[in-house]
Amino acid sequence: MTESEAGAGGRPTLESVAELAGVSRATASRVVNGGAGVRAALREKVERAVVELGYVPNLAARTLVTRRNRAIAVVIAEPEARFFSDPFFAQHLRGISRELAAADNQMVLLLAEEERDHDRIGRYLAGGHVDGVLLFSLHRSDPTPETVHRLGLPFVIGGRPGWPGAESDRDLVYVDNDNRGGARLAVQHLRSIGRQRIATITGPLDQTSSIDRLDGYRDLLPDGDEDLIAIGDFTADGGTRAMTELLARRPDLDAVFVASDVMASGAIRVLRAAGRRVPEDVAVVGFDNVESVAAWTEPRLTTIRQEIEEMGRLMTRLLLRRLNDPGASAPSSVIIPTALVVRESA
Amino acid sequence: MTESEAGAGGRPTLESVAELAGVSRATASRVVNGGAGVRAALREKVERAVVELGYVPNLAARTLVTRRNRAIAVVIAEPEARFFSDPFFAQHLRGISRELAAADNQMVLLLAEEERDHDRIGRYLAGGHVDGVLLFSLHRSDPTPETVHRLGLPFVIGGRPGWPGAESDRDLVYVDNDNRGGARLAVQHLRSIGRQRIATITGPLDQTSSIDRLDGYRDLLPDGDEDLIAIGDFTADGGTRAMTELLARRPDLDAVFVASDVMASGAIRVLRAAGRRVPEDVAVVGFDNVESVAAWTEPRLTTIRQEIEEMGRLMTRLLLRRLNDPGASAPSSVIIPTALVVRESA
DNA sequence: CCCCGCCGAGAGAGCGCTCTCAGAAACCGG
DNA sequence: CCGGTTTCTGAGAGCGCTCTCTCGGCGGGG
């Protein structure tokens, strides 16, 4: 074994591999890329040379000619508060990472927080460094989908897009959890245990996930009292405020469906502080099934499970499929089912 | 204004910009890269051409010749549990992202969870797609630092590295919070409010952050009773178990320094379940100052604040400095001060 | 035994950019 | 107004790789 040539000086190139193996650069290239159509004897020689030199292809050079980066961008536009407190993103990233790794692609993470970040991200995407884009947490004014579309970059969106016409755009692929169905499950459960005056605490209504959960609630309570609906913001504080409000408006409520576990933890606290027993006096169902929250409220939280990591994986798979087969028509969007997880709070 | 050429067909190249501006490719390149040494008249012509064509440099081509990627890798090797439940990583990423964006560099995120991921990451890093590496959560057996070092890639580590000789390696740059100092602060505070029998719950002792926090505790209690030390694992469950243990061994304890907020939340629960009042009977100090936990325990948690985002920024800044000035000797490692945040639990 | 066909290997162009080098143009003092 | 600088600009090589095209060689059929 020679010294590791990889470290010092120039990294070995295909040229040097070819030379050592006594073949042409073209043949070496063929071997490195699968070796189809190369006689076994030569292939072995090249393979040995690769190992000996510690050769690793230079991706920049390869990209230059193939126009394939083997990298995709993940764009997350989310204000600080949620990005930090919600395991949502970490789980997503994990799912994406896994799927991407399996296909030997890389993940470039682009976080947007200010206006000018969108510019930067747009420029970057225009630079052609990634083959596709995964978009999250789209807010109505986010220019990125438009940019990405204009650039002709394949993309998949996490969560149902909310702008007008999005739904009917056949080119728009998204993956979402069945928020509406989940909400129905929650309300149904509350009903099945005999609750009559079921309130709800929603997320911010500029996000489709919040809207869909509220719609699910309304599906089962079509002529519900608007006083039973309070608007939160997916934070524990927001849950506290909303619950306080509800209690003031409708002291007779006997159940609450809260659109996130974190908000539910705040809500339960308010209920107990107000002397209501959970679940005896007021039953509570959350949404998310975030282990670190739902398993730690008192009492432990009954909630709706969503498959976040699976969502990330699915998005990635859809995107990769599009990349590998650009001709095919856009795959259809996917809604992942949600499920009820019964613990103690309802 | 012509049609946007960016969308359809080939993206505009420097060549086409040069042609439109009536200059050579070299001059166009100069303008694109700052325009030094180009007469104003020509520069403007080129700039107009750039805008008109919507030209964006092809980074692959540029990288091929400059050997600079304007991208750095962030390697996180952490088992699922912590990556999900701890806002630690999200905050880090945010800090890194901010600093990187300011320098117009990109972040490639590499998550390792299995053995074989290390291989993949090693191969990727060897591919020369990034200019430097940021490493986190190093475990003793992690081969990545070694790999990175061998490849000659500049890198900065988050958290004090724990392997033998690391400390004295002048080439090894790391950024850490003052874990030991923070622990001292905590114990000092508990003493200052008159506590006599101060226990501690540690993190897993294969991580330097846990070790350092324990060392800080011991600094102030040099001949402390070993019965007052219980080993946790940075999860709420772990905190519960450890607290139960401590209570069994030393029912007379009147304070606990818990090495993480999440564990502290578990510990407080056990204490209250055992009928101890917090802080009257047992005072509790956490570590981390994770808002979503510390502000929500009952009573609210007194804890040690660490500047996680700042840590990410600092790591990035140190790395970029190394990249821009490879000749300079390695900057020295940095320890970020910690501070006591008094709430209600102590 | 010759020719055709096919498979495997090599030559070479070219991806889009930077950067060196040399020549052209502008500028200065004498 | 001229020679010598000093600026600017352009030509061209080359970064490392892929991929097409061509050619050599071998086997088999006539």
**What residues does CATH 1.10.260.40 cover in chain A?**
14-57
Flag if B11 and A124 touch (Cβ within 8 Å): no
Q: Please state, in angstroms and rounded to a whole number, the distance separating the CA atoms of residues B219 and B216.
A: 5
Q: What is the pLDDT of residue B179?
A: 96
Please name the nucleotide lying closest to A33, CA to C1': D18
Q: Give me the CATH topology for the region A71-177+309-335.
A: Rossmann fold (3.40.50)
Asked whether the predicted pLDDT for residue B211 surpasses 90, the reply is yes
Write out the two tokens for A193.
């245990």
Q: What is the pLDDT of residue A35?
A: 78
Q: Would you tell me how many other CB atoms lie within 10 Å of the CB of residue A275?
A: 7
The predicted-structure confidence for A211-240, as pLDDT tens digits, reads as follows 999 999 999 999 889 999 999 998 889 999
Mean pLDDT across A287-309: 90
Q: What is the pLDDT of residue A288?
A: 92
Mean pLDDT across B283-298: 89
**What residues does CATH 3.40.50.2300 cover in chain B?**
71-177+309-335, 179-305
Pick the CATH number of A14-57 from 2.60.40.1180, 3.90.1150.200, 1.10.260.40, 1.10.3720.10: 1.10.260.40
Q: Please state, in angstroms and rounded to a whole number, the distance separating the CA atoms of residues B173 and B332.
A: 6
Mean pLDDT across A267-286: 95
- Tally the residues of chain B: 346
Flag if B128 and A93 touch (Cβ within 8 Å): no
Q: Give me the CATH topology for the region A179-305.
A: Rossmann fold (3.40.50)
Flag if B150 and A124 touch (Cβ within 8 Å): no
N-term to C-term CA, chain B: 67
Is A228 exposed, middle or buried (CB count within 10 Å of its CB: 0-12, 13-18, 19+)? Answer: buried
Coil/strand/helix, residue B71: strand
The predicted-structure confidence for A97-128, as pLDDT tens digits, reads as follows 999 988 888 899 998 888 788 888 888 888 78
Mean pLDDT across A185-207: 95
Question: What's the mean pLDDT when you consider all of chain B?
Answer: 88
Flag if A89 and B89 touch (Cβ within 8 Å): no
Of the candidates A109, A117, A108, A107, which has an alpha carbon nearest to the alpha carbon of residue A79? A117
For an interface test with A, give the residue of B69, B86, B106 to mutate (most A CBs within 10 A).
Answer: B106
Q: What is the pLDDT of residue B82?
A: 66
B85 interfaces chain A, CB cutoff of 8 Å: yes
- Look at B65 and B79; give whichever has higher pLDDT: B65
**Over pLDDT 70: what percentage of chain A?**
95
Flag if B129 and A107 touch (Cβ within 8 Å): no
Write out the two tokens for B290.
């994770």
Write out the two tokens for B25.
């490719």
Coil/strand/helix, residue B136: strand
Angle A93-A99-A105 (CA atoms, 0-180°, nearest 5)? Answer: 95
List of chain B residues whose C-beta atoms are within 8 Å of the C-beta of residue A308: none
Which of B56, B59, B85 shows the shortest C-beta gap to A292? B85
Flag if B109 and A104 touch (Cβ within 8 Å): no
Evaluate whether A287 touches A259 at the Cβ level (below 8 Å): yes
**By CA distance, what is A69's nearest residue in B?**
B60
Q: How far is A216 from chain B, CA to nearest CA, in Å?
A: 28
Mean pLDDT across A260-264: 93
**All protein residues with a CB under 7 A from any atom of strand C:** A 23-27, 37-39, 41-42, 61, 64-65; B 10-11, 13-15, 25-26, 29, 32-33, 55, 57-58, 61-62, 64-66
Q: Which pTM value belongs to this model?
A: 0.85
Q: Which nucleotides of chain C have an atom under 7 angstroms from any protein CB?
A: 7-12, 14-20
Q: What is the pLDDT of residue B7?
A: 37
Most confident of A103-107, B65-69, B204-208, B302-306: B302-306
Question: What's the mean pLDDT when you consider all of chain A?
Answer: 88
Q: Would you tell me how many other CB atoms lie within 10 Å of the CB of residue A310?
A: 16
The predicted-structure confidence for B106-150, as pLDDT tens digits, reads as follows 899 998 888 778 888 888 888 788 999 999 877 777 888 888 888
Mean pLDDT across A84-95: 80
Q: What is the pLDDT of residue A84?
A: 67
**Over pLDDT 70: what percentage of chain B?**
95
* Interface contacts A/B by beta carbons within 8 Å: 141
List of chain B residues whose C-beta atoms are within 8 Å of the C-beta of residue A89: 90
Give residues 286 to 305 of A whose Cβ lies within 8 Å of B.
291-292, 296
